[in-house]
Chains A and B, each alone.
Chain A
Amino acid sequence: MNNNPPQLNIDISLSYSQFNLVINQAIPLTGITGIFGHSASGKSTLLRAISGLEKSVFGNISLGKIKLVCTEQKVYLKPEARHVGLVFQNSRLFDHLTVLGNLEYAVKRCKNNQLFIDDIIELTKLKTLLNNHINELSGGQQQRVALARAILAEPNLLLLDEPLSALDQQSKTQLLTMMLAIQKQLNLPILYVSHSLDELQQVCDNLLVMAQGKVKEFGNIHQVIHNLNHQLGDDLIAQQTSLSLPITKLCDGYGLTTLTLQDKQKIYLEYDASFKDKINNGELRCFILASDVSVTLTEPTNSSIVNHLCGTINAIKQNNNKVLLTVNCGEQNFYVAISAFSQQKLALIVQQQIYLQFKASAVRTFIH
């Protein structure tokens, strides 16, 4: 008896004149899987291949037990038969229909009809916009309609192709929060393509990194982000420590929230009223940029900087005049970016015990 969760199995190749995509990867159909990479790395092409919009695919794609593509057996399911939803970068709404008309378009063609349109309207906060025409909506509103429409088709897998790239930060945060809520409530597996590591860090369980049409990394989101820290000279990658930690205490008067690292050490971040719902209820996704962390050789007890952790240097990696330290605190690795000057001044070496310090404001999270 196989108790493993169903998987999306991809073993495909396709080529254009100057681009080859070769992917052999199994992706668990749970939670949100991020797909990260530069432009022209093949992210969107992969989504188009899974959804059936890319016809020149060779190999196999199966979604759970359903074969979407099997070149050997001449199986090629049309997009309309795959039950795979896709939200594009540009919303692709039908502008001859109202918002409600767009949602009903999906409902009318859905064979399961397990979802109630009113529930999805509520979830995507579209109630006041139902009778609006598409060109009366802002970019963020259009993407919300596109998301709701895709969900109402009740796909077995939802693909999101950079749906936030044209939106402002506020709309991004709102949509990311919505995506998380949708994923949890509907238990809908999502593949989410983005070239923003921040966005992916906030919502994804797993991360797949693509470059030049191939998979470079795949695994747990924190682990893959930490692996990316060692990829040098990439503008899209900000070296960071990526964490999911439980909120254990809120101190409104002090303006601080307390997170607990492995039941032992405390990490403080700035207070936010929305954290109230999260106390002892799930974990908060946050990250600390390596450049926001500094190092001392003695415990900084007389500092206004609230976070200081004791750890051991695991690795020192120098690139020109910059140094990336991997510091082990308990079982958690933290990443610290310092100058070569500081490293020499403190004479840092591997296995040395040091203290990390960073301000509460350096612990970043933008959706709660």
Chain B
Amino acid sequence: MINSDLQALITTLEMAALTTIILLIIGTPLAWYLAKMTSRSKVIIEAIVALPLVLPPTVLGFYLLIAFSPEYLPGQLWQQTTGQQLAFSFSAIVIGSVLYSLPFVVQPLQKAFEQLGDSLLEAGALLNAGPIDRFFSIVLPLTKASFITAATLGFAHTVGEFGIILMIGGNIPGETRVLSIALFDHVEAFDYTRAHILSIGLLIGSLIILAAIYWLNLPKRAGTKTTLIGKAN
């Protein structure tokens, strides 16, 4: 039985790590675009990105469940490409997590890019640095703390997911059974001892992660200060 919790922990960490990597890859250009966009229509994209902050996870889970099913195009395309069903798979919970944790990565990065402004990038361009060079030599070092904050928040929020995973992943050991689902199982089975162990573990783990973020955001000599946003989960 302990092995099943360990398995759930491994699945959770795999899901959270993969989700965080994907979020950083797609969240960075999206945050950059939003930070630099001057058109008023950007509020629509910002609202879409922020939706998971206010929407019950089950709503997003419900629509994703429909989209992932073989009757609908995304599910069909996935099945044709991979030969596997998308719903109730590890891939499904990663996709769901990416969408659900998007604001936790995009918002701190967007704020950091906005605070950074254009002046240093202009200075870099006039020293012959191209756009990619400028990103790695100026933007990344100056917004490092925000990247760590975004990655940590994205990771921690993914670890804490429940509703959306239950909707689109179900409870398949080694595939979609993550810690929050395992905890729910223990409570349903009145196995409060193991529920306590998982709860305390998640509680302390989350506390350490959040304390680390606040520590990173303490005012320092250099670097961009970011603020925590979003709701606790």
User: Which residues of the other chain, A, contact B119 by a CB distance below 8 angstroms?
Assistant: 88, 90, 92
User: Which residues of the other chain, B, contact A88 by a CB distance below 8 angstroms?
Assistant: 119, 123
Q: What 0/1 readout, one digit per residue, does chain B (79-121) give for beta carbons within 8 Å of chain A?
A: 0000000000000000000000000000000000000000110
* B128 and A109 within 8 A (CB): yes
Q: Which of B18-26, B29-37, B137-145, B148-156 contacts A (4 or more CB under 8 A)?
A: B137-145
Residues of B within 8 A of A (CB): 119-120, 122-130, 133, 137-138, 141-142, 221-223
Complex: A111 Cα to B137 Cα, angstroms: 18
Q: Which of A78-86, A194-202, A263-271, A315-323 contacts B (4 or more CB under 8 A)?
A: A78-86
* B123 and A111 within 8 A (CB): no
* A79 and B138 within 8 A (CB): no
Complex: A316 Cα to B122 Cα, angstroms: 49
Given A94-B138, A96-B222, verify A80-B120 contact (CB < 8 Å): no
User: Which residues of the other chain, B, contact A92 by a CB distance below 8 angstroms?
Assistant: 119-120, 122-123
Closest to A135 in B: B221
A109: shortest Cβ distance to chain B, in Å?
Answer: 4
* A80 and B125 within 8 A (CB): yes
* A79 and B222 within 8 A (CB): no
State the total of A-B contacts with C-beta under 8 angstroms: 63
Mostly, the B contact residues are helix
Count residues on chain A whose CB falls below 8 Å from chain B CBs: 27
* B137 and A105 within 8 A (CB): yes
* A85 and B223 within 8 A (CB): no
A96 touches which one: B122, B130, B133, B223 (CB < 8 A)? B223
Mostly, the A contact residues are loop
* B142 and A96 within 8 A (CB): yes
- A23-47 residues with Cβ-Cβ distance < 8 A to B are none
Q: Is A311 an interface residue (CB 8 A)?
A: no
Given A88-B119, A94-B138, A96-B141, verify A153-B222 contact (CB < 8 Å): no
30 A-B contact pairs sorted by A residue (CB < 8 Å): A51-B126, A52-B125, A53-B126, A78-B125, A78-B130, A79-B122, A79-B126, A80-B126, A80-B129, A80-B130, A84-B126, A88-B119, A88-B123, A92-B119, A92-B120, A92-B122, A93-B123, A94-B120, A95-B142, A96-B141, A105-B129, A105-B137, A109-B127, A109-B128, A111-B128, A133-B221, A133-B222, A135-B221, A135-B222, A153-B127
